[in-house]
């Protein structure tokens, strides 16, 4: 076994039906349903204009500034996959540009999460494939390796395993583990229902705000006397 330069098969991936259900939910509510303990960090920003990212992870660990294994991952990707690359967050050299983006679209890739940089930023906005990256640079990549495909990776403490669900919207990127996906979906749907009721109460002027003063009193906040 060669650690650091290897390509592994992906044993499992979240099913398309689950991906479709999550795609309709805000990432913020999914995050709340995971106790707000998981995030890829604010450095990963949206490089496309608009739209939601959702799909099973095809993971890549790459040497900073080198995209050989990213090229191979695009060759391997199944339609609907999200390619997630940990390249150490280095912004010196880009990991991909317009040509790789066009090829990925042709392959049916659902999007990218890159802990590294892109170039040809205007093309990413025009094509509008969901892509999150740590930055932009005009300097191109190297193609020498090493790297790994379909191994567990981590971005800013968020662990992504091959086949995990990867989500992204205007609020950022989130990974949901394969084993927890159904439970997180149920919790998020329940939160959505509760928020819909709360929004209706706000519109009707019947929203109960008593919890605010109750929390302040419980925490010992000094407050003006009533009356």
pLDDT of 66-88, one tens digit each? 999 999 999 999 999 999 999 99
| pLDDT at residue 209 tops 80 | yes
Average pLDDT score over the chain:
97
Range of the domain at 47: 6-186
Residue 78 lies in a domain: yes
Residue 218 lies in a domain: no
- 35-70 pLDDT, tens digit per residue, is 999 999 999 999 999 999 999 999 999 999 999 999
Residue 211 lies in a domain: no
- Rounded-to-integer distance, Cα 141 and Cα 30, Å: 34
| pLDDT at residue 1 tops 80 | no
Residue 46 lies in a domain: yes
- Rounded-to-integer distance, Cα 9 and Cα 26, Å: 31
- The answer to whether 34 and 177 have CB atoms below 8 angstroms apart is no
User: What CATH number is given to the structural domain containing 11?
Assistant: 3.50.30.40
Nearest residue to 93 via CA among 137, 135, 124:
137
**Looking at the 3D structure of the chain, how many domains does it have?**
1
| pLDDT at residue 109 tops 90 | yes
> Does the annotation list 119 as a binding residue?
yes
> Does the annotation list 97 as a binding residue?
yes
Residue 216 lies in a domain: no
Region at 158 (left for phi over 0; alpha for psi -120 to 50; beta for the rest): beta
- The predicted pLDDT at position 225 comes to 86
Residue 206 lies in a domain: no
> Does the annotation list 99 as a binding residue?
yes
| pLDDT at residue 227 tops 70 | no
**Which pair of structure tokens corresponds to residue 201?**
């109460």
- Rounded-to-integer distance, Cα 93 and Cα 81, Å: 24
Residue 107 lies in a domain: yes
- 121-177 pLDDT, tens digit per residue, is 999 999 999 999 999 999 999 999 999 999 999 999 999 999 999 999 999 999 999
> Does the annotation list 120 as a binding residue?
yes
- The predicted pLDDT at position 226 comes to 78
Residue 217 lies in a domain: no
How far from the centroid of its chain's Cα atoms is residue 102's Cα?
21
| Single pTM value for the model | 0.95
> Does the annotation list 98 as a binding residue?
yes
Percentage of residues in the chain with pLDDT exceeding 90?
A: 97
């Amino acid at each position: 076994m060669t650690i650091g330069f290897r390509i592994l098969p992906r044993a499992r991936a979240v099913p398309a039906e689950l991906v479709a259900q999550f795609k309709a939910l805000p990432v913020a509510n999914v995050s709340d349903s995971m106790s707000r303990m998981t995030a890829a960090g604010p450095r990963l920003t949206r490089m496309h204009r608009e739209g939601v990212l959702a799909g099973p992870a095809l993971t890549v660990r790459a040497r900073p500034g080198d995209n050989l294994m990213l090229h191979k991952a695009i060759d391997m990707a199944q339609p609907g996959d999200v390619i997630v690359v940990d390249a150490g967050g280095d912004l010196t050299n880009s990991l991909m540009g317009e040509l790789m983006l066009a090829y990925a679209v042709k392959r049916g890739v659902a999007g990218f999460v890159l802990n590294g940089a892109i170039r040809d930023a205007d093309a990413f906005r025009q094509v509008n494939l969901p892509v999150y990256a740590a930055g932009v640079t005009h300097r191109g990549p190297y193609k020498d390796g090493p790297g790994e495909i379909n191994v567990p990776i981590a971005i800013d403490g968020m662990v992504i395993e091959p086949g995990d669900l990867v989500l992204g919207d205007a609020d950022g990127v989130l990974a949901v583990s394969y084993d927890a996906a159904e439970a997180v979906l149920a919790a998020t749907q329940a939160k959505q229902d509760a928020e819909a009721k709360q929004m209706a109460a706000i519109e009707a002027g019947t929203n109960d705000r008593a919890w605010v003063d109750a929390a302040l009193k419980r925490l010992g906040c000094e407050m003006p006397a009533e009356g």
